[in-house]
Amino acid sequence: MGVIMYILLCGFPPFVSQSSNQDELFDQILSGRFEFMSPYWDDISASAKELIRGMLQVEVGERFTAAQVLGHPWLEHRQEEGSVRTSWRMDLHLEDRPRSAIEAKGAASVTS
């Protein structure tokens, strides 16, 4: 769940091998090495980052339980507010834009 939340907030996974080396990637995952890279995380609250850190703990005893996640102040605050600010990168994917006639026709032909 922590990996999914990380991706939802910034648009990419927490564990990435710059050289596409699978062993390097597995090492990062097993050691729990990740960071909140700028500028993608600049607008994300410290509380959200703290929640993700707790969810991505390698040691089971240190990792947040489901009850701790659901009771975390960031989630409770979000329930009251009703919205979540995504990073600017995700905004590019989520922006509403009118479809061109060609895109609309292509979509219609695929679904029919």
pTM recorded for the entire structure: 0.67
Annotated domain spans of the chain? 2-111
With CA atoms as reference, report the closest residue to 9 among 98, 86, 93, 105.
86
Cα 85 to chain centroid distance, Å, stands at 12
**CATH of segment(s) 2-111:** 1.10.510.10
* pLDDT at position 21 over 70: yes
- Per-residue pLDDT of 22-41, as tens digits, reads 999 999 999 999 999 999 99
- Per-residue pLDDT of 98-112, as tens digits, reads 555 555 444 444 444
